[in-house]
Chains A and B, each alone.
Chain A
């Protein structure tokens, strides 16, 4: 299988493209996923004005036509709910909820409808839908376009949550998400779109619920996800220069979560630091720490530490936003503080 270097954005585009070729029931809709629908000068060769707000779905409308790639009104409740309805009756919709912060206007359709139908109906319905949404701070996009919020979705039974960190994982995890029979929330960090990595040309899947051991080490375990995987790996390099060898576990999926990967690593290193860009309360970070406290307490040589965004909204001003995001320096100093 030939691999080449492409961006995270292209990897996501490719997963959608290949799954749409493979399965005619896969459709994509969201605000401006093509753009310019019904304008006379956009017709003909199925031209598109945008291909998504950050051009992630570019070229899909021209290839699959506007019956399978649909622009929507700015009506998130209606089209996310329509994804639930379509999924439970035979399609595999991918709905793009542009920024995760917008879940606020359509949460009922996600957590009361999509997440609960299969269980509530005694297993007689399946909801094979994917909601793709952008997350993350650092884009100077201010409080209502910058949050992570994946912890909230992880809290909801019936939803799967996925947060890829590399182009390879983005493509493989999205293919899995599209083929999965449960609703999957698929979160794309906007500052990862331009990052590059090796990605096979062909279709492949990366299983949901399996963590990736990014770096082996013996002194401490960093459990992390999304953009923070890269920060953690940079910190690991710096720590190695100081003779501290950390293991870095990329969770990749938050629901289901690979508890074994976390516990096995902590049993080996005896120290845990969780690095999470989301806010700290009732979060992925607290969840991982709780798991370790509950099931590997006797293995710990030091308190578990959480490095997260503060318990505040995301500020706009660049210096403030940079201070909001967990830093490589904080990861390094926190790990060092545990080594005593």
Chain B
């Protein structure tokens, strides 16, 4: 494994940033400060972080409606993310996309997505670009267990394998497609078994274990980068928050919530890193304070930013009518 102490610290900071960002968004949403609705990633931090640790800015990712964590792990500016969630003109999409559509193509982030399963075909496209132009760029397609049942995901996996594209499909199996449990909506025992159908490697890992995810991603992304084709990684985890904020989560029992808390990906990472003396308590405390300040600054930035001018309704669209 290629994990240096420096990378460990970076990974910890990323996970913490995601967690605090989401907790802050939940708080702001509850206070009525954010328009629309938000889908939070807290609980799944190890996945985006463990995978994106192997990507550079030149690599691409496609995301989901639960996209904040992917954005942060891929290096999208936190201020621009928070401003976007508020709908301010300084947002990553000038306030025109919102939480469900945060994107930053310059950072290789091809957008959170409001359509379940839409990322698979898009990922094939950016991977086709890399293959056609002969670059070593890799595309990672994050998708949920719900999206695994969309025809688009099956088609995308087949296409990626037919064309031997540099795509890594990362399924974030958090157990529920909205309120519908995975055991009901999926007829198979493992989503990773679908690799067999398309003749690509498929593995299932613990979605709360940063180290397991990091290792699986290293192998799959390496394979894609070497031109050896697509892979599928299924990460089994959970989300702490509802499908969207306001969801009472009646489908999750208190026992299950308690079990999840005991598997917290960040706490587990901290514990193992400290046991192996890869991170010190001091480093952790310093990082926590630094990240908290970054999030506070992002809120301030968003709140002080201007609203978009109403003329923006008519920009960035190629036909004006009437």
Q: What is A's interface to B at a CB cutoff of 8 Å?
A: 31-32, 35-39, 41-42, 47, 49-50, 53, 71-78, 101-102, 104-105, 139-145, 280-281, 306, 310-313, 315-320, 323-324
Answer yes or no: B251 CB below 8 A from chain A CBs: yes
Looking at the complex, which one of B37, B147, B177, B313 makes contact with A315 (CB distance below 8 Å)?
B313
A18 to B1, CA, bound (A): 62
- Give CA–CA (A269, B91) in the complex, Å: 48
- B116 part of interface (Cβ distance < 8 Å): yes
B101 touches A143 (CB 8 A): yes
Q: Which residues of A contact B37 (CB under 8 A)?
A: 140-141
CB–CB A317/B317 < 8 A: no
Q: Fill in one digit per residue for B170-183: 1 if any A CB lies within 8 Å of its CB, else 0.
A: 00000001111101
B197 CB within 8 Å of chain A = no
Q: Check B310–A323 contact: CB distance below 8 A.
A: yes
The chain B residue sitting closest to A309, CB to CB, is B313
5 interchain residue pairs of minimum CB distance: A144-B114, A316-B98, A140-B36, A317-B87, A35-B179
B307 touches which of A35, A71, A319, A324 (Cβ 8 Å): A319
Expressed in whole angstroms, the Cα–Cα distance for A108 and B92 within the complex equals 34
* Contact indicator B181/A320 (Cβ below 8 Å): no
Q: Decide: A141 and B36 in contact? CB cutoff 8 A.
A: yes
Contact B113 A144, beta carbon cutoff 8 Å: yes
Contacts of A72 in B (CB 8 A): 180, 185
> A32 to B314, Cβ gap below 8 A?
no
Q: Which residue of B lies closest to A75 (CB)?
A: B149
Q: Chain A residues with Cβ under 8 A from B97's Cβ?
A: 142-143, 316
List CB contacts (< 8 Å) of B288-310 with chain A.
307-308, 310
State whether the Cβ of B107 lies closer than 8 Å to any Cβ in chain A: no
**A102-B251 Cα distance, complex, nearest whole Å:** 24
Cα A32 to Cα B322 in complex, Å, equals 39
In the complex, the answer to whether A316 meets B96 with C-beta atoms within 8 Å is yes
Nearest to A102 among chain B residues (CB) is B115
A101 touches B115 (CB 8 A): yes
Q: Identify which of B101, B181, B319 contacts A39 (C-beta below 8 A).
A: B181
B312-A320 in contact (CB<8A) = yes
A49 B179 Cβ-Cβ under 8 A: yes
**A51 (CB) vs chain B CBs: closest residue:** B179
Q: Which residues of B have CB within 8 Å of A145?
A: 100, 114
Main secondary structure of the interface of A (DSSP, over half): loop
Complex contact A311–B88 (CB within 8 A)? no
Q: Is the CB of A31 within 8 A of B180?
A: yes
* Interface contact B250-A49, CB-CB below 8 Å: yes
Shortest distance from the beta carbon of A272 to any chain B beta carbon, whole Å: 16
Q: Contacts A142-B36, A317-B88, A317-B307 given: A71-B180 contact, CB under 8 Å?
A: yes
Q: How far is the CA of A49 from the CA of B184 in the complex (A)?
A: 14
Q: B35 near A310 (CB under 8 angstroms)?
A: no
Question: Contact between A143 and B310 (Cβ–Cβ < 8 Å)?
Answer: no
Residues of B within 8 A of A (CB): 35-37, 87-89, 91, 93, 95-101, 113-118, 146-147, 149-152, 177-181, 183-186, 250-251, 253, 307-308, 310, 312-314, 317, 319-322
Given A41-B253, A73-B149, A315-B313: A144 in contact with B115 (beta carbons within 8 A): yes
Contacts of A76 on B, CB cut-off 8 Å? 150
* 30 intermolecular pairs with C-beta atoms under 8 Å apart: A31-B178, A32-B180, A37-B184, A38-B184, A39-B251, A50-B179, A73-B149, A73-B185, A74-B177, A74-B185, A75-B150, A76-B150, A78-B151, A101-B115, A102-B115, A105-B115, A140-B87, A140-B98, A143-B97, A143-B101, A144-B100, A312-B313, A316-B96, A316-B97, A317-B87, A317-B89, A319-B308, A320-B96, A320-B310, A324-B313
- Complex: A149 Cα to B35 Cα, angstroms: 23
- Do residues A142 and B114 form an inter-chain contact, with CB atoms below 8 A? yes
Give A35 to B146 CA distance when docked, in angstroms.
Answer: 13
> How far is A31 from B308 in the complex, measured between Cα atoms in Å?
35
Q: Is the CB of B312 within 8 A of A315?
A: yes
Given contacts A144-B115, A320-B308, contact A73 B101 (CB under 8 A): no
A72 to B89, CA, bound (A): 38
Given contacts A31-B178, A38-B181, A315-B312, 16 further A-B contacts (CB under 8 A): A49-B251, A73-B146, A77-B151, A140-B35, A142-B36, A142-B99, A142-B101, A143-B114, A310-B314, A315-B308, A317-B307, A319-B87, A320-B87, A320-B96, A320-B310, A320-B313
CB proximity of B91 to chain A, nearest CB, Å: 8
Which residue of chain B is the closest to A50 with respect to CB atoms? B179
Residues of A within 8 A of B93 (CB): 316
**CB nearest to A315 among chain B residues:** B96
B177 touches A105 (CB 8 A): no
* Partner among A31, A53, A139, A144 whose Cβ is within 8 Å of the Cβ of B101: A144
Closest chain A residue to B310, Cβ basis: A323
State whether B115 touches A31 (Cβ < 8 A): no
Which residues from A are CB-within-8-Å of B152? 105
Closest to A52 in B: B179
Task: Give the distance to chain A from B7, nearest Cβ to Cβ, in Å.
Answer: 35
Alpha-carbon separation in the docked complex, A74 to B120 (Å)? 15
- In the bound assembly, the distance between CA atoms of A145 and B244 in angstroms comes to 14
| Interchain nearest-CB distance for B224 vs A (Å) | 26
Residue of A nearest to B177 (CB): A74
CB-CB nearest in chain B for A53: B178
Q: With a 10 A CB-CB cut-off, give which of B150, B180, B308 has the most chain A CB atoms.
A: B180
